[in-house]
Amino acid sequence: MQKFFTKIPHLTGIYQNTSTGNFVSSKRIKGKLYQKSFNSLKEAKDWRQNFQPKSSFSTLKDVWTCMQDLHFPTLSLSTINIWNRRFILLQDLEHFPMNEITPSLITSWIIEKVSFYKNESYQDSRGHAGRCNLNNELNLLVTIFNWYKQSDLFEKEALTLTCPVKRKHREQGFIKPIPDRRKNITLDHTLLFLEELKPLYKDLATLQFYCAARIGEVAGLQWSCVDFKNKRMIIKHTCLWDNSSKLFTTLKNFPKNKENRPVFITQEILEILQRRAAFRLPGNNFVFHVDGRPLNYGTIQVNYRNAQRKSGIPHTGTHILRHGMAKLARKVGGGLDAVVAMTGHKDLKLANHYSKCDEEDQKVISEKIMDHIRLSKYAQFENFENVVSLGNFKKK
């Protein structure tokens, strides 16, 4: 270096080529030497001050883009929309290489977000709809890391990395308690709700309940999947609605878990299908429609909400009927196998989630326990007449 280059006084790592007059800036990072030639001294100084070597690891944004290209086509549209919404907060981390997304970095990100969402101005503007925690975003980050680790595309660089999301992060991401929302609608409440619906939507909701189906699966039910002779129908299609307008867009040829699900046509289901057969139109394969047009999600929502309000039940949404039948199946069938048979879940954890114990179960068990205690007390006092007083015994 000294033979062909002259060191620039008072500037570390910068030399001038004695032959060409160019300036060479050098910088050693983690034991590795980086060099670059420039025409001016200013460029050489700026480079040495700001240069950072490009990481050999892909950034979070790189991985997310690959997930969208390779993994998203296997997901349902609703899942894609949910993930895209959840990734908005993670965009603050997307420029970091995957190896630099450490537990401490996630902690800093959480502190910043929690501080914002706990701000009084935000809480006042959102009311009950204010954010409660960062669990959804953390779950998505775990999903991204798991896909990154399993992908052949990132096999070498991901080999030594572990997921940086720790249990403590969910505790750190707490903002406020989650509002009390009852999902497992009881049979009594279901019947009250159904009575307040108009005929078309009453049949739709009743069939949804009997089949423990997603609303899109029932709205997308096709006559070609109904076999009256063998008392069998297939949950095979599902309606897709626009995420913003909630209008029908297309009919997907498979349900959310991509597996067709057979349903036995009971007498109650048969009566619904027979009523709908009176509205069947030539060339139209939809069981549920309005003048041949598939149902829009917004219209379904309006009818469900009105009926829920009129019936006075403490439940909202279109998914409660699937939860309610899952719970009823577990109660009648006695286990998760019965839940899976009705809902078609592949994962027992999900089947358990849909049918887990709730406030109504606690009430029933509490009453049974108290009945047992009452009987025990009664039996105890009933036998007192046979007990000899210790005082009387001593007198004798």
User: If pLDDT is split at 50, 70 and 90, which confidence band does 120 have?
Assistant: confident
Q: What does the pLDDT read at residue 203?
A: 96
Q: What does the pLDDT read at residue 55?
A: 67
| Residue among 386, 383, 330, 391 nearest 361 (CA) | 330
- For residue 319, the Cα-to-chain-centroid distance in whole angstroms is 14
Report pLDDT digits (tens) over 149-202. 999 989 889 988 999 999 999 999 999 888 766 667 888 999 999 999 999 999
Q: What does the pLDDT read at residue 323?
A: 86
Query: Longest Cα pair distance anywhere in the chain, in angstroms?
Result: 127
Q: What does the pLDDT read at residue 386?
A: 55
- Tokens representing 75 are 């997901």
Residue 394: which H helix or E strand, with range? helix 390-395
Q: What does the pLDDT read at residue 378?
A: 66
Report pLDDT digits (tens) over 277-306. 999 999 999 999 999 999 999 999 999 999
Given a cut of 70, whether residue 205 has pLDDT beyond it is yes
Does 187-355 carry CATH code 3.30.365.10? no
| Residues listed for the chain | 396
CA angle 324, 327, 330 (to 5 degrees): 150
Given a cut of 60, whether residue 209 has pLDDT beyond it is yes
The answer to whether the CB of 41 falls within 8 A of the CB of 8 is yes
- Tokens representing 105 are 């970095």
Q: In what order do the strands lie in the sheet with 226-227?
A: 226-227, 232-235, 261-264
Given a cut of 60, whether residue 393 has pLDDT beyond it is no
User: If pLDDT is split at 50, 70 and 90, which confidence band does 381 have?
Assistant: low
Q: What does the pLDDT read at residue 387?
A: 52
Helical spans, DSSP H, in 102-134? 103-117, 120-126
The DSSP annotation for 8-52 comes to PTT-TTEEEETTT--EEEEEEETTEEEEEEESSHHHHHHHHHH--
Q: What does the pLDDT read at residue 375?
A: 79
What does the alpha-carbon distance between residue 279 and residue 361 come to, in Å, rounded to a whole number?
A: 41
Q: Mean pLDDT: which of 99-113, 254-268, 355-369 is highest? A: 99-113
Predicted structure pTM score: 0.63
Q: What does the pLDDT read at residue 357?
A: 67
Q: Which of 20-34, 109-123, 314-328 has the lowest mean pLDDT?
A: 20-34
Place of tokens 């204010």: 130
What does the alpha-carbon distance between residue 110 and residue 174 come to, in Å, rounded to a whole number?
A: 9
Q: What does the pLDDT read at residue 352?
A: 72
What does the alpha-carbon distance between residue 327 and residue 161 come to, in Å, rounded to a whole number?
A: 40
Q: What does the pLDDT read at residue 302?
A: 96
What does the alpha-carbon distance between residue 84 and residue 100 come to, in Å, rounded to a whole number?
A: 23
Average pLDDT, the chain: 86
